[in-house]
Amino acid sequence: MIPRERVHITLEHEEPDRVPLDLGGIVTGIHKIAYEKLKNYFGLKTETLIFHKSQQLAKIEENILEKFNIDTRYVYFTIDPYSKILNEKYSIDMWGVKRVKTQYYYDISSDGIPLKNINSLGDLEKYNWPDPEKIIEANIDIIEKNSKYFHNKTNYAIVYHSGASIFERSWMLRGFNEFIIDLIKNPKFACKIMDIIMDFYEKILNETLIIIGKYIDIVTITDDLSFQQGPIIPIDIYRKYIKPKHKKLIETIKSKANVKIFIHCCGSASYFYEDFIDIGIDIVNPVQVSAKNMDTKILKEKYGNKLCFWGAIDTQKVLPFGSIKDVEKEVKKRISDLAPEGGYILAPVHNIQADVPPENIIKMYEIAKKYGKYPIKTIF
């Protein structure tokens, strides 16, 4: 099968020729240090380009993606016309969030949370919010060109990383503790922040999907709602204030394009799976197997007929610290648990971090290709 067909079939909960493979997205990417080690292993001397600054994600070259038989390719906005480099250590993004360079990433600075000291609805209105039209104008030509190219000139499944995030973007602007308190004590204020952010992403999605919707297969949204042990917020708070906004975003996407909806939600995310199904989400990622209530066998049995699983290869312990045999065992288990009857795209749990050795990355995809052929053996 060609990659696009393989992905389409598995997302319809049917069995293709083999389990589809993914690498290279904004939540399924690879840190530049790990990527440089991987290139050195292969003897490649090319310059490493960064496509996501805060996470320091490398742009993976096409020959690497082909070597690993990756079935997906990504399109996304790359230009932030509002961003400013303050000096070699600090930068500000389009939302006004200040980031500081740390050992591996650009993290939010303690003095870089722009809404932290804003406490009135009037002051929210006065804040210098980014103009979605300016963002679209800066990016639409290149994203249309890339979408057309991948659709017309390649056979890959095309994933549009929209960047849309409601809860997570809100606390980044307001401060984590402050926003959680707002949701409980001042929900009108919290909802105003979320509404402004949602309007921004709705405009982006509406205008972008009119142009590229016919070329793409999957649209991602992102909202981390859980810690490793359980939800960040009570489920009733999610259902009352955030779920309706997620639902509206999904309705906007599906009204403009015949695509599958992929949500990136880290941690013990299974608490929200019934709600995700209810609002039309098709794919859950990253399937953080190290978190509570994220047993892949149970998840498949409980949700496998309604949700597709994307990820699940442990990046917390197995990939950075495991032996080759540990990696092989991990990949076999996730295929055995999640792949029968389709509905599984194999990828790392979130981005491959700097401490992952190249041998483990290579082994992950070698084993996936070898043992991911259908029909799947359910016991290895």
Instruction: Tell which residue, 24, 147, 151, 135, has the closest CA to residue 77.
Output: 135
Separation CA 41–CA 62 (nearest Å): 16
Q: Tell me if 105 is assigned to some domain.
A: no
pLDDT of residue 94: 96
Separation CA 44–CA 28 (nearest Å): 22
pLDDT of residue 379: 55
pLDDT of residue 88: 82
The CATH number of the domain holding residue 331 is: 3.20.20.210
Q: How far is CA 47 from CA 39, 44, 60, 101, 157, in A?
A: 10, 9, 11, 21, 26
- Total number of domains constituting the chain: 1
Q: Tell me if 217 is assigned to some domain.
A: yes
pLDDT of residue 380: 54
Separation CA 178–CA 108 (nearest Å): 15
Q: Tell me if 106 is assigned to some domain.
A: no
Q: Tell me if 297 is assigned to some domain.
A: yes
Q: Tell me if 95 is assigned to some domain.
A: no
Distance of CA 249 to the CA centre of its chain: 16
Residue 136 belongs to what domain range?
3-77+128-371
Q: Tell me if 156 is assigned to some domain.
A: yes
**Which residues, in sequence order, are CB contacts of 362 under 8 Å at separation 6+?**
38, 41
Asked whether the beta carbons of 206 and 252 are under 8 A apart, the reply is yes
pLDDT of residue 77: 96
- Sites in the chain below the pLDDT cut of 70: 378-380
Q: How far is CA 319 from CA 21, 39, 158, in A?
A: 16, 17, 26
pTM value is 0.97
